[in-house]
Each structure stands twice: as C-alpha cells, then as structure tokens.
Homo-oligomer: A and B are copies of this chain.
Amino acid sequence: MVNIQRVAKEAGVSVATVSRVLHDQNTVTAKTRLKVEETIQKLNYQPSMLGRNLRKSESRLLLVLIPEISNPFYFDIIKGIESFAISHNYNILLCETDSSPERENIYFDLVKAKMADGIISMDPAVNVEALLDLAENHAIIQCSEYMIEKEIPYVTIDNEAAAYRAVKHLIKIGNKKIAFINSNQKYLYARQRNKGYQKALEEHGIPVREEYIFHTEHLGFEYGQQAAKKILNLNDRPTALFAVSDLLAIGALKEISACGLHVPDDMAVVGFDKIEFSNMTNPALTTISQPMYKMGTIAVEMLIKKLKGEKVESVILDHELVIREST
C-alpha cells in the first residue's frame, strides 16, 4: 500500500506538503503542487481515510435507524437523506432495527465507538431511555417520530391535522360510519392520528364508536387484511375506513374485494403515506402525502449542524390529501 510518506519521499517533499496539496491549501507553490500531483498520479496514491479519521476523530458516517428496510414509507426519506449527506461528504449506514433493542444497541455502540458520528432515528419503537442517554454526548435527530418535551430535535408532519383532514374528506363525501385502522397506541403518531380521527367525527356530530376502531401490531398488508375482515363482519357495517398506513389500506382493499364488495361504492378507503404501490392498486388509493424527500434532507441538515455544534430547531412540515379512486 502506498502511503503519504512514500509520496513525500518520491516527490522530494515532506508529508506536510503532500497533505497540503491534498487539501487544496494555497500555501503551496504551483511548481511544488505540480510535482506532488504528478507523483500521486504516478504512484496511484489514494489517501487512507483510516488515518484521517483517527487523526480528526471523526468517521463521516451517519446512522439512519429504521424498523424495516422494506417499508416503502421510508424510501423517499432515505433518498433525501442520502443525497444531502453525500453532497456534504458524509456516508449513510442504513440500519434495520426490527424494533429490537438488541439490534438497536449494536448501532448505538457504533456511535459510542466513534465508528459513526451521529444518528437519524426513524424508529417509532426506539428505546427512548437509551436514545436520550446517547443524546447527551452524541448528535441525534429524530425523523417522523419524536418525543414531546424532550430535547432531541426532530422533523415531522402534524399527524393530528393530517388524520383530521383524511376523515373530514370521508365525511364530506357522505360517510357517517367510518372505521379506523390504527397501529399500536404506544406510538406517538398513532395517538395523534387517533386524536385527528376523533376530532373530525366530533366536529360533525358523529359519535365515536369504539367498535369501529382497530389496532394492529405491525404495519403490513396482512394486518390490514385481518382488520378489514373484522370490519366487514361488523353488525352495523361502516361505509368507509381510514388506515394509518397505505400498507394497511392496501391489505384492506384486497380483503374487501375478496368479499365481493366494491370500493368505493360499498366501502370508501383512505390510506396514509402515498407510497408508490398505492397508485397500482385497483382502485387507486386515496391517501395523505407527506413531503418525504424534504423530510430526509432536513433531517441530515439538522444533524450536520448539530455535529458542528450549532443550535438546531425542530421542524414541522406540511402534508397533502391526494384524492384518487378509492373514495
């Protein structure tokens, strides 16, 4: 392996000068610079980041914690994160936690061991204690999910307002019996969306019926199917349903048509997230769209600021209702 010493010797200069050339410092004569650059070419020298990292005590690696790599909700966020990070000379380590504390710990340890500089956490099931603990000495940003009253900066949308908007849309087009497929209430976003659901109903004088509200353990097609099955078996069958995730809504769509019913005539359906699939279903899904890509870029921007020691403020972004064929 050819190192900086070797280049210096070959070019007849000191390692300091090679380093200066490498970093575009103007304190080098054109002539010296040329000589060094030629030598670098000739020897095909590539500076090792290992040395650099140790010296500067940084890794330029950022961790992104997500529960499941296959959840399409994260795709565009990750794209945003990646593009911003790369353009600022950071790399992204995508970490699938499976919402398991052990798995999470591996990644937390990576930061403690200086193998990564900071974390963007998108796992709603993250171990809060551990995260807060880590945040004392390390740069951490939460994306999409967050903790009220805690000092970890976050970027998110207004979940309550978004759910309210979705349900209000269902009411406007004539539905009064609206089922709600929510995920586990231990997640803040689930509680907030539940609030939005209830608020919309109450505002229109529609009583909230507990038997219309369902909770799923995970976000996946099959959980949507199961919930839909229960909804369809209800005595006083709802005419519409709102699911907190497109995945759940798509599963429900499948179940509804499997029962020979028609969307939206027999049952209107609204999802959440506007994942790409949601336009491929039959009928195409009405859903809430979040500015994913932007959320990603903002999250890294905040993280990099934090890494520099700057003060960062949390951000709440706008959402949109995308009306398609399912309502």
**What is the interface of chain A, defined by CB distance below 8 A to chain B?**
1, 46-51, 53-54, 57, 59, 61, 69-70, 72, 75, 78-79, 82, 86, 91-94, 96, 106, 109-110, 112-115, 221, 250-251, 254, 257-258, 276-277, 279-280, 282
Q: Do residues A221 and B280 form an inter-chain contact, with CB atoms below 8 A?
A: yes
A64 to B, closest residue via Cβ: B94
Q: Do residues B280 and A113 form an inter-chain contact, with CB atoms below 8 A?
A: no
A115 to B, closest residue via Cβ: B49
- Return chain B residues, CB-CB under 8 Å to A57: 1, 50
Smallest beta-carbon distance A99→chain B, Å: 14
Q: Do residues A113 and B82 form an inter-chain contact, with CB atoms below 8 A?
A: no
Q: Do residues A47 and B94 form an inter-chain contact, with CB atoms below 8 A?
A: no
- Return chain B residues, CB-CB under 8 Å to A94: 69, 92-94
Q: Do residues B115 and A96 form an inter-chain contact, with CB atoms below 8 A?
A: no
Given contacts A69-B75, A70-B72, A86-B106, contact A50 B59 (CB under 8 A): yes
Smallest beta-carbon distance A252→chain B, Å: 11
- Return chain B residues, CB-CB under 8 Å to A51: 54
Q: Do residues A79 and B75 form an inter-chain contact, with CB atoms below 8 A?
A: no
Q: How far is the CA of A188 from the CA of B93 in the complex (A)?
A: 30
Q: Do residues B282 and A282 form an inter-chain contact, with CB atoms below 8 A?
A: yes
Smallest beta-carbon distance A276→chain B, Å: 7
Q: How far is the CA of A276 from the CA of B277 in the complex (A)?
A: 12
Q: Could you write out 29 A-B pairs with CB less than 8 Å apart? A: A1-B57, A48-B114, A49-B113, A49-B114, A49-B115, A50-B54, A50-B59, A51-B54, A53-B53, A53-B54, A53-B115, A61-B93, A69-B69, A69-B79, A70-B75, A70-B276, A79-B96, A86-B106, A91-B93, A91-B115, A92-B93, A93-B93, A94-B94, A221-B276, A221-B279, A250-B280, A254-B282, A257-B282, A277-B277
Q: How far is the CA of A94 from the CA of B109 in the complex (A)?
A: 19
Q: Do residues A110 and B91 form an inter-chain contact, with CB atoms below 8 A?
A: yes
Q: Which 3 A-B pairs have the closest CB atoms?
A: A49-B115, A70-B75, A50-B54
Given contacts A91-B110, A94-B94, A276-B221, contact A115 B78 (CB under 8 A): no
Q: Do residues A50 and B114 form an inter-chain contact, with CB atoms below 8 A?
A: yes
A52 to B, closest residue via Cβ: B113
A279 to B, closest residue via Cβ: B221
Q: How far is the CA of A254 from the CA of B276 in the complex (A)?
A: 14
- Return chain B residues, CB-CB under 8 Å to A106: 86
Smallest beta-carbon distance A1→chain B, Å: 8
Q: Do residues B251 and A112 form an inter-chain contact, with CB atoms below 8 A?
A: no
Smallest beta-carbon distance A52→chain B, Å: 8
A75 to B, closest residue via Cβ: B70
- Return chain B residues, CB-CB under 8 Å to A250: 280
- Return chain B residues, CB-CB under 8 Å to A1: 57
Smallest beta-carbon distance A56→chain B, Å: 9
Q: Do residues A113 and B47 form an inter-chain contact, with CB atoms below 8 A?
A: yes
Smallest beta-carbon distance A95→chain B, Å: 8
- Return chain B residues, CB-CB under 8 Å to A282: 254, 257-258, 282
Q: How far is the CA of A296 from the CA of B154 in the complex (A)?
A: 34
A110 to B, closest residue via Cβ: B91
